[in-house]
């Protein structure tokens, strides 16, 4: 199969808001078929699809909770009907349930691990076989600076994001010979609803520690994704996009 001449299909989990929306829009302008996955907010997902179509691109929105294996399977069945296989997988969907460890409930641990880490198992397991068969694939996992440095009140989130880094390196080792690259992006603090939910004084103290002296924008991360898609010799790496916060 000559993949150079075919339109590639990219799945962006949590592609409807924040960083995922910026990734969907960036790739939508680059002539990919874009699957905008979302969990609860259909209007946001449809708005991103409309914007991509207005710019002349191809996109569809598909609801699925990617923390649940059966929903991930349904997502891939719907993608297969619409476009065939997934050539590029961006594991972006994520949540926070911040709390100091001594107060953290098992449900808050499980919810974050399932949504932010086990989801990457679910989707990558469904994508990887066809990627190996066609000898082409890109998997880009959106980790976090918190997975590298730790974060106060974020044992669940840091464990999941650090887990994504180890997952990416191991899968990169196993699949490099098939023309597949697996990388992470580790964003610092990016202006989205996730960060807007933080107390103002906490956010101000974080910004004071960022050498670039400001939050990043979702499009900074989207450009990193586009770069990694176009980089066949980069695999098993973490691309830090954090304004110098962690070096
Ligand atoms: P956000 O604004 O809260 O958006 C989260 C997106 O994920 C939404 O599209 C949401 O869909 C989707 N989502 C959540 N749970 C899902 C599930 N179970 N199944 C499918 N989709 C789900 O978050 P963000 O700030 O853009 O963050 C995106 C990613 O970057 C996350 O993995 C986050 O951990 C990581 N990150 C963010 C920052 C930052 O500063 N913002 C920094 C480092 C890393 P619905 O709206 O439909 O629920």
- If one residue of 93, 113, 191, 242 were mutated to test the ligand 1 pocket, choosing by the most ligand atoms within 8 A of its CB, it would be 93
* Distance (Å) from CA 13 to ligand 1 centroid: 8
Atom of ligand 1 nearest to the CA of 143: 44
* Distance (Å) from CA 137 to ligand 1 centroid: 23
- If one residue of 20, 79, 195 were mutated to test the ligand 1 pocket, choosing by the most ligand atoms within 8 A of its CB, it would be 20
**Strand pairing report for 9-12 and 58-63:** unpaired
Task: Give the whole-angstrom CA distance, residue 141 versus residue 187.
Answer: 11
* Distance (Å) from CA 43 to ligand 1 centroid: 16
CATH topology of domain 9-190+217-241: Rossmann fold (3.40.50)
CA-proximal residue: ligand 1, atom 33 (nearest): 94
pLDDT of residue 1: 47
Count Cβ atoms below 10 Å from residue 202 Cβ, excluding itself: 11
Q: Answer whether 0.85 is exceeded by the pTM.
A: yes
Paired strand residues for 184 = 141, 238
* Distance (Å) from CA 232 to ligand 1 centroid: 27
**Which segments within the chain are labelled E, that is strand?**
9-12, 33-38, 58-63, 88-91, 137-142, 180-187, 238-241
Ligand 1, CB cutoff 6 Å, lining residues:
13-14, 16-20, 37-41, 44, 65-67, 92-95, 115, 142, 144, 187, 189-190, 192-195
CA-proximal residue: ligand 1, atom 9 (nearest): 14
Indicate if 233 belongs to the active site.
no
* Distance (Å) from CA 12 to ligand 1 centroid: 11
Atom of ligand 1 nearest to the CA of 216: 40
Question: Is the C-alpha dihedral spanning 160, 79, 65, 224 positive or negative?
Answer: positive
Q: Which of 38, 83, 136, 157 is catalytic?
A: 157
Atom of ligand 1 nearest to the CA of 221: 30
Task: Give the whole-angstrom CA distance, residue 25 versus residue 105.
Answer: 36
Per-residue tens of pLDDT for the chain, all 247 residues:
456 657 999 999 999 999 999 999 999 999 899 999 999 999 999 999 999 999 999 999 999 999 999 999 999 999 999 999 999 999 999 999 999 999 999 999 999 999 999 999 999 999 999 999 999 999 999 999 999 999 999 999 999 999 999 999 999 999 999 999 999 999 999 999 988 888 899 899 999 999 999 999 999 999 999 999 999 999 999 999 999 999 9
For the chain, the domains span 9-190+217-241
Over residues 154-208, the pLDDT tens digits come to 999 999 999 999 999 999 999 999 999 999 999 999 999 988 888 899 899 999 9
Count Cβ atoms below 10 Å from residue 207 Cβ, excluding itself: 15
CA-proximal residue: ligand 1, atom 19 (nearest): 65
């Amino acid at each position: 199969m000559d993949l150079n001449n075919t339109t590639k299909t990219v799945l962006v989990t949590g592609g409807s808001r924040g960083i995922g929306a910026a990734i969907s829009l960036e790739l939508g302008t680059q002539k990919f078929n874009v699957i905008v996955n979302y969990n609860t907010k259909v209007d946001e997902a449809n708005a991103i699809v409309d914007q991509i179509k207005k710019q002349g691109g191809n996109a569809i929105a598909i609801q699925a909770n990617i923390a649940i294996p059966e929903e991930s399977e349904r997502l891939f069945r719907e993608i297969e009907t619409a476009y065939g296989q997934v050539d590029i997988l961006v594991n972006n969907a994520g949540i926070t349930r911040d709390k100091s460890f001594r107060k953290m409930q098992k449900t808050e641990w499980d919810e974050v691990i399932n949504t932010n880490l086990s989801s990457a198992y679910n989707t990558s397991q469904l994508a990887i076989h066809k990627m190996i068969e066609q000898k082409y694939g890109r998997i880009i996992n959106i980790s976090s600076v918190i997975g590298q440095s730790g974060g106060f009140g974020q044992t669940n989130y840091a464990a999941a994001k650090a887990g994504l880094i180890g997952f990416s390196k191991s899968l990169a080792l196993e699949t490099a010979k098939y023309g597949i690259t697996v990388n992470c992006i580790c964003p610092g603090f990016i202006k989205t609803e996730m960060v807007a939910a933080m107390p103002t004084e906490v956010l101000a103290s974080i910004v004071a520690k960022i050498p670039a002296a400001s939050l990043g924008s979702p499009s900074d991360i989207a450009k990193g994704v586009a770069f990694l898609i176009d980089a066949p010799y980069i695999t098993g790496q973490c691309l830090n996009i954090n304004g110098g916060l962690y070096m």
